[in-house]
Amino acid sequence: MSVKRIGVLTSGGDAPGMNAALRAIVRTALNRNVEVYAICEGYQGMIDGGDRIRPMTWDSVGGILHRGGTVIGTARCDAFRTHEGRRLAAANLVERGIDSLIIIGGDGSLTGANIFRQEWAGLLGELAEMGKISREAAEQYAHLTIVGLVGSIDNDMHGTDMTIGTDTALHRITEAIDAISSTAASHQRTFLVKVMGRHCGYLALMSALATGADWVLIPESPPDLDNWKEKMVADLKAGRKAGRRDSIVIMAEGARDRHGNPIESAEVVKALEEGLGEEVRETVLGHVQRGGTPSAFDRNLGTLMGCDAVEAILSAPPDTEPQLVCLRGNRIVRAPLMECVQKSQAIGEAIKARDYERAMDLRGRSFKEAFRTLRTLLRSLPHEPAPGQRRLRLAVLNAGAPAPGMNTAVRAAVRIGLDKGHIMLGVANGFEGLANRQIKEMDWMSVNGWAPMGGAELGTSRRVPTGRDFYAIARNIEEYKIDGLLLIGGWTAYQGAYQLYCERENFPAFNIPMICLPASINNNLPGSELAIGADTALNNIVWAVDRIKQSAIAQRRCFVVEVMGRYCGYLALMSGLATGAERVYLHEEGVRLRDLQNDLDKLVTGFKHGKRLGLMIRNENCSTIYNSAFMSALFEEEGSDLFDVRQTILGHVQQGGDPSPFDRIQSTRLAARCIDFLIEKAQDEYPGSAFIGLEAGGIQLHDLEELPRLMDEEHQRPKKQWWLDLRPIARVLAQPGPEHQTESEVLLD
Ligand code: ADP
């Protein structure tokens, strides 16, 4: 039986990004000629019926991408836990011909949905028996198709790397902790910060990693000592002695000791005050964590999951098991819903049963790895080198333009290297510094406070070594006895590393392992789908475009916004997707005059029919002839009295600012792997060199020799770019809806 109508609801706790999912679901469905109904206030609306279940139009989801929470409301609903409640809900759905549901919620909401589906046939039988629906209707709607999306700031669902809302919550938490640390450092104070997470320590763990906190308490891995309070105090004291000016302890709501007793924040404060002999301030972040405008990541995650949910419904065979739309290794995939829910609940049970090892195992490899890395980074001093251990001398440098997250990566690399007993050297100003002996030993505290810092403290340069540089660099590698080199940066870093690699025959000093860590806001590096810095830049763009759009609320105006990226359209496309731009211009596609004519025609028709805002985003190099000024002038002239046009070139705002939580977390993870690589390869007589990155399967390494094969050197971008596949989604969702053929006052978004 073909699907006729989809119902969509948000249920349980709200999460930023739910609106993006709703918009994508509604527009994808309408684009596929499927009717879609919003069920307002979660399951309560399904039971109440009436106008709480309403047909959605293209424009009814306009102007909501940037809004936090959920515009269709959410609720907790006890009546849905009862059979009678679910029967009422079933009657309301059948009455409207809804036979497919997309539920955006947490594990509770999804469990409820599963029960509903299992009972569905029985409920329809009862309703027919009671004369509430006809026998034909019971037969016609015999199967209920269910697809779930996880909207939850806790990131507590098995099967998906991220849930909708988590990244935004991390933004709120890191903003707050960064702010707290600056005041704490001024007064040399200690703070306890409590974050959400009853059964899941993800937010606490990742925010600690991202902010450089000093101690963390999570439910899955309680402190393994009974006298943990003394240990915590001793660690903080040691940190102060080593030169830290602030001490920050982060605890998850559900923190517990190893006997399973909940840890109250008051007892942590008391222990800290008594032990440290100073006043300790507590900050409970509470609902701030849930609120506010969704991050670029959550908007795009919600959008991509929403689109896939509709496709999942349309392709589901009758009476199919409910599916969950998940993100795995930067790809949207589907998994059996109840298996994911049950595995997630098993973690809660393991915690309850005090089987913490199992709880950590169930959280997965990257969670465990992050926890291990955190425990290294928050030490006040590194471990002593093992007796007789060969101490390597590993150098770190930045190359290319500064990218937010570079400092976080250097901090992680230096501390992890030191903790493993090696000597860490910092090279100032990239290859230039390597040639000019700007090399110095880094100690534990030399990178203190670098986790949240934007820019590049070590300095960076765009110089790629050539000719004479090789000799100077080779001499310095020998003189400083460098055993391995970590290069953090953009195309300059990759090219430089490759040059040194190719010169190994002439300069034996270059026969050391080298590894490149992708850091460039342009996201134009091979072997990595996401480079460090790109997420921060994307959020900077989205922040600016949101404001630009608001500024035009009273006028009929079209903006042409130019974003960075060199020849790579990643920032343009992803910011277009996150802000609802109706047109994105990419160098990869080129710009033709007939495209501009076509876009202009659409603008004119739209504005004639009540549209008030146009948004076009262009990559800085999409066309040298049809540049920003040309496009704006063309639209302005041809738009005559219908609308005016403003061009905005966002410029270096995009490169600045503190790194986003995602960039901080990924740079730390990647740096940890890079140091492991250098240590391992330094033992080889002819060590290999590599570049690292995040790919569909997780963190991957590529042999440096592969660089020319993967790179389009002329345009300095990878030959294959995964995100180009998202273009049809951006195009469909931002096109004017059929309502724009009529007079409409709703913003196109
Ligand atoms: P979340 O979805 O965020 O985990 P809850 O656990 O509070 O939030 O669930 C939200 C709503 O989902 C509940 O108020 C209830 O209406 C419904 N629900 C949850 N669990 C069940 C269940 N076992 N059976 C039926 N409905 C449920």
Say which residues have a Cβ less than 8 Å from residue 211's Cβ, sequence separation at least 6: 174, 177, 178, 181, 248, 250, 451, 452, 664
- The pLDDT-based confidence of 30 (bands split at 50, 70, 90) is very high
- The pLDDT-based confidence of 748 (bands split at 50, 70, 90) is very low
Say which residues have a Cβ less than 8 Å from residue 256's Cβ, sequence separation at least 6: 219, 222, 262, 263, 351
45 lines ligand 1 (CB under 6 A): no
CA of 45 to the centre of ligand 1 (A): 14
pTM of the model: 0.96
- The pLDDT-based confidence of 740 (bands split at 50, 70, 90) is low
- The pLDDT-based confidence of 743 (bands split at 50, 70, 90) is very low
217 vs 734, higher pLDDT: 217
Asked whether 166 and 20 are in contact (CB, 8 A), the reply is no
pLDDT at position 601 is 94
Residue owning the nearest CA to atom 10 of ligand 1: 12
3-state secondary structure of 692: strand
- The pLDDT-based confidence of 512 (bands split at 50, 70, 90) is very high
> 153 to each of 157, 170, 331, how far by Cα in Å?
10, 9, 20
CA of 42 to the centre of ligand 1 (A): 10
- The pLDDT-based confidence of 738 (bands split at 50, 70, 90) is low
Look up residue 659 and give its DSSP letter.
Answer: P
Give the model confidence (pLDDT) of 433-469 as tens digits: 999 999 999 999 999 999 999 999 999 999 999 989 9
Q: Which of 9, 11, 103 to mutate to test the pocket of ligand 1 (most atoms within 8 A of CB)?
A: 11
H helix runs in 522-592, sequence order:
534-551, 570-579
106 lines ligand 1 (CB under 6 A): yes
Asked whether 187 and 204 are in contact (CB, 8 A), the reply is no
For the chain, which domains are there? 5-163+294-328 (3.40.50.450), 166-289 (3.40.50.460), 393-531+661-716 (3.40.50.450), 540-657+728-748 (3.40.50.460)
Residue owning the nearest CA to atom 23 of ligand 1: 112
108 lines ligand 1 (CB under 6 A): yes
pLDDT at position 746 is 40
- The pLDDT-based confidence of 744 (bands split at 50, 70, 90) is very low
Residue owning the nearest CA to atom 27 of ligand 1: 112
Least confident of 176-190, 230-244, 309-323, 501-515: 176-190
pLDDT at position 739 is 55
Say which residues have a Cβ less than 8 Å from residue 75's Cβ, sequence separation at least 6: 11, 41, 42, 43, 44, 45
Question: How much of the chain exceeds pLDDT 90, in percent?
Answer: 89
Report the largest interatomic distance among the alpha carbons of the chain, rounded to a whole angstrom: 91
User: Whose CA is closest to 209, among 370, 367, 366, 364?
Assistant: 370
115 lines ligand 1 (CB under 6 A): yes
Q: Which residues are catalytic?
A: 154
Q: Which of 80, 107, 196, 344 to mutate to test the pocket of ligand 1 (most atoms within 8 A of CB)?
A: 80
CA of 82 to the centre of ligand 1 (A): 11
User: Whose CA is closest to 378, among 280, 268, 239?
Assistant: 239
CA of 207 to the centre of ligand 1 (A): 28
Residue owning the nearest CA to atom 9 of ligand 1: 108
| Strands of the 247-252 sheet, one edge to the other | 215-217, 247-252, 190-195, 280-284
Q: Which atom of ligand 1 is nearest to the CA of 81?
A: 25
Q: Is the pLDDT of residue 749 over 80?
A: no
Residue owning the nearest CA to atom 15 of ligand 1: 77
Give the model confidence (pLDDT) of 604-662 as tens digits: 999 998 888 999 999 999 999 999 999 999 999 999 899 999 999 999 889 889 999 99
Length of the chain as a residue count: 749
Asked whether 169 and 203 are in contact (CB, 8 A), the reply is yes
Residue owning the nearest CA to atom 22 of ligand 1: 112
CA of 167 to the centre of ligand 1 (A): 23
Report CA Rg, the chain.
27
Q: Is 651 left (phi over 0), alpha (psi -120 to 50) or beta?
A: left
- The pLDDT-based confidence of 184 (bands split at 50, 70, 90) is confident
105 lines ligand 1 (CB under 6 A): yes
Q: Is the pLDDT of residue 745 over 80?
A: no
**Beta pairing partners, 148:** 103, 324
Question: How much of the chain exceeds pLDDT 70, in percent?
Answer: 98
Q: Is the pLDDT of residue 62 over 80?
A: yes
109 lines ligand 1 (CB under 6 A): yes
